[in-house]
């Protein structure tokens, strides 16, 4: 399965989600490739750190690709790996479009307070354009950095539901220090000690939705 974590907003949690899904999936026994298609190389930095910290290594393979190579190289590698997770940058780039031509799933984190309907509309347009070359592309959005109180989450969910090419995945990630603490140590949030059980549960719910419910 090829999963692109994307969208056109920076700081929405793409790298956090891409690296967590990669670590968790690999630990479940999948031969996994994490592709860093963002020039900022945050997920590559995470993997370098993880390789240093973990005695047994990162647990997955990581490469950097950019531009049209995201399509051509990923295509070649797709038969060699069980799962591929592609982390993209926060803009509508050639790299992200290239990734979407060969993806099964586009996963878009959406931060409620940034309430930017136009951003989602642009993602929707992007998906409809890419579906011409990749009709099987499934695009879903979920709420990241959910507020613990207030109506923002509900409003954000409504906006996603109303966005044509996006389906809403009801597996929010709360705004929790554990996510950044884990990333800073090269860990998935499920590996952090002491464990933040809420963060773990949220990430596992998202993981299960992607790999056990949507699974293509």
Ligand X SMILES: Nc1ncnc2c1ncn2[C@@H]1O[C@H](COP(=O)(O)OP(=O)(O)O)[C@@H](O)[C@H]1O
Q: How far apart are CA 59 and CA 28, in angstroms?
A: 10
Binding partner of 10, given ligand X, Mg ion, none, CB within 5-8 angstroms per partner class: ligand X
Residue whose CB is less far from ligand X, 12 or 74: 12
Binding partner of 16, given ligand X, Mg ion, none, CB within 5-8 angstroms per partner class: ligand X
Give residue number: closest CB to Mg ion.
15
- Calculate helix-pair angle for 197-208, 177-184, nearest 10 degrees: 80
3-class DSSP state for residue 80? coil
Q: How far apart are CA 211 and CA 216, in angstroms?
A: 8
Angle formed at CA 4 by CA 104 and CA 162, multiple of 5 degrees? 80
Q: Is residue 183 a contact point for ligand X (CB under 6 A)? A: yes
Residue whose CB is less far from ligand X, 90 or 112: 90
Q: Contacts with ligand X in 51-90 (CB under 6 A)? A: 90
Exactly one of 11, 57, 67, 150 binds ligand X (CB under 6 A); which one?
11
Alpha carbon dihedral 110, 163, 8, 111, in 10-degree steps, equals -10
| Closest among 182, 195, 170 to 53, alpha carbons compared | 182
Contacts with ligand X, 91-130, as mask; x by CB under 6 A = ----------------------------------------
Q: Is residue 14 a contact point for Mg ion (CB under 5 A)? A: yes
Q: What is the DSSP string of 9-41?
A: -TTSSHHHHHHHHHHHHHHTT--EEEEEE-TT-
Q: Is residue 172 a contact point for ligand X (CB under 6 A)? A: no
> Nearest approach, Cβ of 176 to Mg ion (angstroms)?
18
Q: Is residue 15 a contact point for Mg ion (CB under 5 A)? A: yes
Task: Decide if 1 contacts 83 (C-beta within 8 A).
Answer: yes
**Which stretches of the chain bind ligand X, using CB under 6 A?**
10-16, 42, 90, 144-145, 173, 175-176, 179-180, 183
**Which stretches of the chain bind Mg ion, using CB under 5 A?**
14-15, 42
């Amino acid at each position: 399965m090829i999963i692109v974590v994307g969208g056109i907003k920076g700081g929405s949690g793409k790298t956090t989600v891409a690296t967590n899904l990669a670590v968790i999936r690999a630990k479940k026994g999948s031969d996994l490739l994490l592709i860093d298609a963002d020039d900022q190389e945050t997920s590559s930095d995470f993997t370098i750190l993880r390789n240093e910290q973990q005695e047994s290594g990162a647990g997955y393979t990581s490469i950097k690709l950019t531009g049209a190579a995201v399509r051509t190289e990923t295509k070649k590698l797709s038969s060699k790996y069980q799962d591929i997770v592609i982390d993209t940058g926060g803009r509508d780039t050639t790299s992200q479009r290239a990734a979407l031509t060969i993806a099964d799933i586009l996963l878009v984190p959406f931060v409620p307070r940034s309430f930017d309907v136009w951003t989602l509309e642009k993602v929707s347009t992007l998906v409809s354009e890419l579906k011409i070359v990749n009709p099987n592309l499934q695009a879903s959005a979920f709420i990241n950095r959910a507020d613990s109180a207030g109506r923002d989450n509900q409003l954000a969910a409504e906006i996603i539901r109303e966005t044509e090419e996006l389906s809403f995945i009801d597996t929010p990630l709360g705004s929790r220090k554990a996510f950044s603490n884990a990333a800073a140590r090269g860990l998935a949030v499920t590996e952090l000690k002491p464990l933040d059980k809420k963060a773990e549960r949220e990430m596992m719910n998202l993981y299960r939705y992607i790999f056990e419910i949507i699974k293509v």
